[in-house]
Structure 1
């Protein structure tokens, strides 16, 4: 176990936090995870999170899981699963096991039923527009990641106090495919007045009558990221969920779910994203460039994908040195890519 901070390849504040968790007995092992969504190829922006999670586990004698967040079957393909595994391995990342969010669909559904029975979740028949309007609004130009103190108060859904048995019946019928997409959702019952908009009765499940690349047509409801992510970490015994700053505002929601369920409390620690000047690092936009033929595939050397960099002749060691040398700050900043 190499837990010497002076030789660490992860930010010092993360290294110290993990070391303190082991010293204090909060955890007696270290397990991290990589949670990519299989809807595109890896680009250099993903590398920071991948390498921090990898080196954190390696330096503390722990293990790393590669867990695919396959909760949106309309955008995911087996091609991307294979590509992500291949590219991460080329970068030199090693993992203990490969898992999928879909591995936990049954258990996650059981946990949702528990929350319904506890009176902490309900089926809502409102439209997406009605829910958005009742949740309250941020001042114009304000991002969700910024202060939410100026939010207008939210308004309770007219379905918020549905009887438990009615909620259970509707949820099962949603799962079985009896309703149209967009007609109902399952929401957590938290606090419509909360200053954090993400705690205003967030959606847990939405109806999607789409075949899944692993589970086929078994499910007609799929979990939202904020419902599956933290629970999947807990189910896998992940000790440290290391992620970028955009998830700071999500942390109270993950913690609320775990506290209500009495589940294993993974610890989330955030770090700054890798932002490069004059570089396209949006997976959605990269995919559009590929699908519209603007570039010649995901390995086009003009792209910042790992396949593009590899085709350009950039070795894995150079990528690792560049990414791990971009600074210790917790604050997001821009880095020039020579």
Structure 2
């Protein structure tokens, strides 16, 4: 079932193309694919592609393959393969059939390379890397033909077979397509389509010591899987010429309705890096705790921080699909999760920076219990029971000895209402040697129980609290943006734009019902923000909460 109601499905240029192809009979069904390289964890930019490819397949009652473009074994890992599958499922999508790998087609790809050699359209080249750059030319000057370009097909076949059999060292030679060294498009100047690489592959083991390049592999994989619409980001726009050239010159792919490539703008998000290489560098250098660090823009990091699949899908729908590059405000992503959690997250109380309050006229020998709604607008969520007694904790920011009329919290000699409980009045306070308030002594009015009692009391302020003897010690991880620059990719080095205050760890208390908080369960900590129990470090007896997003936009 589609995540988008077909009646309100937003149109875009890709859907228009698909509509035309179906109406004309060029295609009778829609078949897309999501083709990540397993060389890192997926990030929010990949979420856009996931939602586009899987969403289109769902909406048109078609199919979408998950295919790993695994042609670079040195940088790939089975951990990345597993994490990508988890991310796709978590976002709410399911691929068609079995997981696919480009390595499934290595035998076929080798055969297609042989076909190009036999047609005089590929040759083994022994130029070294520096010579290759020199021969390639520049954007203003055409390239020069390699001295190996006119080797006979028979000799090239023997050399390519020797490459396959391990007869050449890495970097000693490559197989290149014979296209046009004077082309204005650099990708068409006899691009490399195979190289020697003695590396263990996570799927094929040590069967191969030559590996095809992405541009050669991707188009053939699409064609073998009968993909109708191959959707990729704009940086592959020029490469579409190579995509078509490869298929144009192979006998198996001459059908008029064969796969075509279409490009859309990638997601560029403020204060965020979308380079897996740079994100990996943060992980390797220990500048973050891992790919799933809640400050990372990875899907795993967003999940650990408390983002929901629905909020990310909504974000991807709002930003739309165009051919125009732009920088999306991060506030749009934050608005999506804030709206989702405001509607669905249960409420709770937690005091992040606590000071103690002693209610001197509470003399009952036992604790009292008060009721509070789990959600103010969803009665079906029920109620929770909160202990109330002589000693409670409130947030340090909610008390001042003196304040102006704009301050609507607890002040000496004045009253404030405790959320879901009583009105209290501050009488005096104690401080430590540094002058910090440690304890506030108060009195309470036992006739004022409730959130909005009809007691006639004109108390303007309402603050949150937790009862001291039943409160649960908790660690709160307060996250800010990982980078201080809205466009960190433009910086010369990542280090110069890293935010040194991107994480603050504080210790406070949470209400007793949170003892069994489930990993990744989101809560609105009233008056504080939206938090979730950390999926790695939180457990019964050790509560760790991650700040997902503030209650309201603060930038």
**TM-score, length basis structure 1:** 0.93
Distance 1:288 1:104 in 2: 31
Task: Give CA-to-partner distance per residue, 1:155-178, whole Å, 9 cap, x none.
Answer: 000000001111000101101111
Higher relative CO (Cα under 8 Å, sequence separation at least 6) belongs to: 1
| Aligned residue in 2 for 1:127 | 128
The answer to whether the 8 Å contact 2:145/2:181 transfers is yes
Alignment of 1:59-208 (within 5 A): 59-97=59-97, 98-138=99-139, 151-208=140-197
**Structure 2 residue matching 1:123: 3-state secondary structure:** strand
**2:309 is the counterpart of 1:308:** no
Matches of residues 185-264 of structure 1 in structure 2 within 5 Å?
Answer: 185-262=174-251, 263=253
Give the 3-state SS of the residue equivalent to 2:202 in structure 1: coil
User: Structure 2 regions of 5+ residues with no counterpart?
Assistant: 332-555
Match in the other structure for 1:270: 263
Instruction: Give the gaps of 5 or more residues in structure 1.
Output: 139-150
After TM superposition, the structure 1 stretch with the greater mean CA deviation from structure 2, 250-259 or 279-288, is 279-288
Contact in 1 for aligned 2:13/2:322 (Cα 8 Å): no
The CA deviation at 1:12 is 1.4
Q: Is the 8 A contact 2:32 2:229 kept in 1?
A: yes
Shift of 1:328: 4.2
**What is the DSSP-based 3-state SS (H/G/I as helix, E as strand, rest coil) of the residue aligned with 1:216?**
coil
Among 322, 334, 338, which residue is 1:329 paired with? 322
- Higher strand fraction: Structure 1 or Structure 2? 2
Q: Match of 1:187, SS?
A: strand
**Following TM superposition, by how much is the alpha carbon of 1:87 offset from its aligned partner in structure 2, in angstroms?**
1.0
* Secondary structure, aligned partner of 1:325: helix
2:170–2:196 CA contact under 8 A, matched in 1: yes
Distance 2:320 2:5 in 1: 18
How far did residue 280 of structure 1 move?
2.1
Give the CA deviation at 1:329. Answer: 2.9
Cα-Cα RMSD: 1.6
Matched residues in 2 for 1:19 and 1:328: separation?
16
Paired position in structure 2 for 1:29: 29
Deviation by residue 1:178-221 (Cα, 9 ceiling, x = unmatched): 11000000000111111111111110001101111111111111
- Alignment partners' CA distance in 1, 2:130 and 2:8: 51
TM superposition outliers: structure 1 runs of 4+ over 2 Å? 1-9
Equivalent residues of 2:124, 2:175 under 8 A apart:
yes
Report how far residue 314 of structure 1 moved: 0.9
1:287 aligns with 2:285: no
| CA distance in 1 between partners of 2:61 and 2:320 (Å) | 24
Larger radius of gyration: 2
Contact 1:240-1:268 at 8 Å conserved across structures: yes
1:269 Cα deviation after fit: 1.1
Is the 1:8–1:15 contact (alpha carbons within 8 Å) kept by the matching residues of 2? no
- State how far apart, in whole Å, the 1-side matches of 2:7 and 2:133 are: 48
SS state of the match for residue 124, structure 2?
strand
Answer yes or no: is 1:53 the counterpart of 2:42. Answer: no
**Aligned pair count?**
325
**Distance in 1, Cα, partners of 2:72 & 2:89:** 24
Residue 7 of structure 1 and its aligned partner are, at CA, apart by 2.6
- Cα offset, 1:42, TM superposition: 1.0
Which structure has greater helix proportion?
A: 1
